[in-house]
Amino acid sequence: MWKKVVAWLIWPFFVIIFFLLLIVFHLVQVLARTFGGYEAHKKSVDILLHALLWQLRLMLGTRITWQLNYELPTNRPLIVVSNHQSMYDIPLLGVMFAKHHAKYVSKVELARGIPSISYNLRHGGSVCIDRKDVRQSLPALKQFGEYLEAKRYAGCIFAEGTRSRDGKMKPFKPQGLSVLLKAAPSALVIPVAIQGSWELAKYGFMPVPIGVHLKCTALPPIERNGKTSEEVIRQTEQAIRNFLGQ
C-alpha cells in the first residue's frame, strides 16, 4: 500500500515531465529531420527513447535489464517478434535494436495526436495499419517488409495484436507476421520476451508504480531455411511462451 501512496505523490510530476519530453522532442525531431535528414532524425528519436526510460529509473526506481547474448548480423534485415505488455515496450525494443534502425508495426490510431510518437511513426520508417481494414493493412505490411528487406533494418511487430494487461500472452495473430516474412525473405527472426512492463500499466498509468523491474530478452534467432511461414510463427510464439513459463 505504501508503494502506491508514494507513486501517487510522484505521479503529477512524472506526468508533467513525460509530456514535456514528448513536446520538446517533437520539435527536436521536426528540426532534425528538416535540416539533417534521416540520420539526424533517427538520432533524436534514439535520445528520446533513452530519456523516457531514464525518467522511469530516476523518478520511479524502475530497474531495466536487456539481455542479448549473441551478435546480430548487419548484412540482413531482422524481424523482431515480441510479446506486448505496455507502451514502454517500444523504447525497450528501440534501445535494444538501435544499431539496426528499429521500425515498428503500429496501429493507425497512434499516428495522429501524440507529440513525438505520432511524428516518428509517420516519418521514421514505421508502418501504421488499420486493424479493421485488411485492404489497407496487408498491402501496407507488404510494403513495409520490402522496405526492411531493401534497407536491412529491424522491423518490430507485436504479433498478439494488442497488449496483455496481466502479463499473460495472448495467441499470436499470424496474418500480418506472415505477410512480413514473405516480403522480407532474407530476414532473420528474433523472438523477444518482455517481462514486467505490464506492471507499469496495471493502474492504467494512474499512478505509475514504483520499483518495477523491466526485462527485455532476445531469445535465440530463428533461421527460416526450409520452413514455412506458419512453422516459423509457431516456433517463435512457442519460444517466447517457453521462456515466460506460459
Beta-carbon contacts of 66 under 8 Å, excluding residues fewer than 6 positions away, are 92, 95, 96, 216, 217
Residue 177 burial class via C-beta count within 10 angstroms: exposed 0-12, middle 13-18, buried 19 and up: buried
Closest C-alpha among 175, 163, 112 to residue 139: 175
- Distance (Å, rounded) from C-alpha 18 to C-alpha 36? 25
Which residue, chain included where needed, has cell 523477444? 192
- Provide the residue ranges of all domains of the chain, joining segments of one domain with +: 2-244
pLDDT tens-digit map of 115-131: 999 999 999 999 999 88
Spacing of C-alpha 120 from chain mean position: 13
pLDDT tens-digit map of 230-245: 999 999 999 999 999 9
Closest C-alpha among 234, 112, 94 to residue 171: 234
Over the chain, what is the mean pLDDT? Answer: 95
Assigned C-alpha cell, 63: 530497474
- Distance (Å, rounded) from C-alpha 152 to C-alpha 33? 21
Share of the chain above pLDDT 90, in %: 92
Which pLDDT score is estimated for 46?
98
pLDDT tens-digit map of 147-201: 999 999 999 999 998 889 999 999 999 999 999 999 999 999 999 999 999 999 9
pLDDT tens-digit map of 38-55: 999 999 999 999 999 999
pTM greater than the 0.85 cutoff: yes
The CATH-assigned architecture of domain 2-244 is 3-Layer(aba) Sandwich (3.40)
